[in-house]
Structure 1
């Protein structure tokens, strides 16, 4: 599984990796923006309790998982050092590496990183956020199964550049409830093995047989999901938009070190900038999988912000 070099393109970056990553798209060898390199990180083996440890060091951001290994996002965001436990199954590497580790790197590169999913709709990136059980993965998967392109799942990176607000393309893989595989046409994708729910809260990893978008897409609406009797969208006021962006940001999920005063100030500045220009609101999705096919039509309506779909 470890070789001289693999090259990938994700989140607008060319990645040179010592590790094969099935979830991502390969690209021709080129000068990399980021290197993922096997390294000895034993000097950072500090005792910790629980499953995960996150520490901000002068050298960069250290993330350790019990039974997995250690990852160091070096200061400057141009290298991820990886030191895996010998017994760890390399086929599961993308779960930490393309989840919290890449989220740290994107945060350090200046993006606002959200924990959610993004799907292309009407030429824009429709973003779905929500608490556990709100159905963000199911909602995004239903749109993708209906043919709408996936932009990113789990880690959504938003870049504010001048007057434009863009969402960067991640990779063509999703974490799904097992029953959602049935919503996809045969040949639409495959389950990545092993698929025993380890590190995915019981979900499968599903690799789509589609090419990843090459360019970022303009940000459309950010939807905070809820469930109810009808499809309804209610726009947030600016202060509620700001609070939602903070609540569903990825970086604070890493623990105490991610919400210290200096870290919080940086995050608040990004969220405030985005809240001032983005359309954010609560999307109530009609209960039941049978109603999901009508959701794309509802979301495409220009007047969806002030009516419910009966």
Structure 2
């Protein structure tokens, strides 16, 4: 059964932010996002409001539920609450469960819910981390626990700038990516040296079950869109020096589809016209950029020269995997 919005509920304070190329007007405080004063992009606004979602009792009794239609998308987590994204990705309506903090509700809001906003705005969204190096972006694609954020943090510590962590949004035609927000989710034992200083802030955890530290790296956030030059499938190996390997042409598309954020919803989302658009976007992106494999060693101490390794691949026409 489709969910509906109860328009009688809502109201409250407003906060203004900027991320992924659009302004955010929110009734919920979202300190993860960069604050802004006045709209900078005409017409590009995301409106976030509190609302009572008209979901039937049988849906509310479920631990997790989602629905995707041409008219909009609904998400429900019994321990957090419900979310609705409109058809154009211009608004999010939120019903936070009793006793749940806004800080906790921000986890799904700035993850799967925001990914749906970006998808509906035409981006191809990757479950990845991305940084900017000398005017171009590189993104790291990997399964959970391999070290996407750790690799990104190591590069930020060496002078790169953050584009996004977890949600990397790319225009599939131009391969241009928009900067998201300046937060990394890191295992406590993988915190870089800068995280112990004042310019990187480790935020308190909203729930004991969350095992990663949230590290704000606001001083490193990129301020403008950049082209993506490389997509790296990240792997860990028994080595001490990072290594870059080619990926067979016929493997590029399957790898990209595997790490698309939409893939976690399976056929619930990727069916009919939505599946066709998703596949066309993936094909376009594999044409517009280059995918390779990056094998990295365990431990931050072995990533100290990673920035130079990547620069060699990005800018040295005599080396790399071309």
Q: Answer whether TM exceeds 0.5 for this pair.
A: yes
- Aligned residue for 1:210, secondary structure, equals helix
Residue among 50, 55, 61 paired with 1:43: 55
Q: Distance in 2 between matches of 1:52 and 1:235?
A: 39
1:149 has 2:161 as partner: yes
The aligned counterpart of 2:170 is 158
Q: 1:59 to 1:277 in 2, by over 3 A?
A: closer
What is the CA-CA distance between 1:107 and the residue it aligns to? 0.5
Q: Which has the higher strand share?
A: 1
1:259 has 2:263 as partner: no
Residue among 134, 159, 170 paired with 2:180: 170
The aligned counterpart of 1:26 is 35
Unaligned runs of 5+ in 2: 1-10
Q: Distance in 1 between matches of 2:199 and 2:133?
A: 19
Unaligned runs of 5+ in 1: none
Q: Distance in 1 between matches of 2:17 and 2:56?
A: 28
Write the deviation string for residues 17-70 of structure 1: whole angstroms up to 9, x where unpaired: 111101011111336611001111033554377642111245410011121110
- Aligned residue for 2:320, secondary structure, equals helix
Q: Distance in 2 between matches of 1:271 and 1:76?
A: 20
Q: What TM-score does the superposition give when structure 1 sets the normalisation length?
A: 0.90
The aligned counterpart of 1:135 is 147
Q: Distance in 2 between matches of 1:71 and 1:5?
A: 18
Aligned residues: 302
Q: What TM-score does the superposition give when structure 2 sets the normalisation length?
A: 0.87
- Aligned residue for 1:171, secondary structure, equals coil
What is the CA-CA distance between 1:262 and the residue it aligns to? 3.2
Q: Distance in 2 between matches of 1:123 and 1:96?
A: 31
Q: 1:236 to 1:45 in 2, by over 3 A?
A: farther
1:115 has 2:127 as partner: yes
The aligned counterpart of 2:6 is none
The aligned counterpart of 1:217 is 226
Deviates more, 1:296-305 or 1:82-91: 296-305
Residue among 290, 302, 305 paired with 2:320: 305
Deviates more, 1:206-215 or 1:216-225: 206-215
What is the CA-CA distance between 1:239 and the residue it aligns to? 2.4
**Is the 1:234–1:306 contact (alpha carbons within 8 Å) kept by the matching residues of 2?**
yes
Q: Distance in 1 between matches of 2:35 and 2:170?
A: 23
The aligned counterpart of 1:189 is 200
What is the CA-CA distance between 1:258 and the residue it aligns to? 1.5
Q: Distance in 1 between matches of 2:285 and 2:69?
A: 28
Write the deviation string for residues 232-289 of structure 1: whole angstroms up to 9, x where unpaired: 2122233211111100000121244123243322211110001112110111113333
**Is the 2:70–2:87 contact (alpha carbons within 8 Å) kept by the matching residues of 1?**
yes
What is the CA-CA distance between 1:166 and the residue it aligns to? 0.6
**Is the 1:238–1:275 contact (alpha carbons within 8 Å) kept by the matching residues of 2?**
no
**Is the 1:10–1:24 contact (alpha carbons within 8 Å) kept by the matching residues of 2?**
yes
Q: Distance in 2 between matches of 1:146 and 1:45?
A: 51
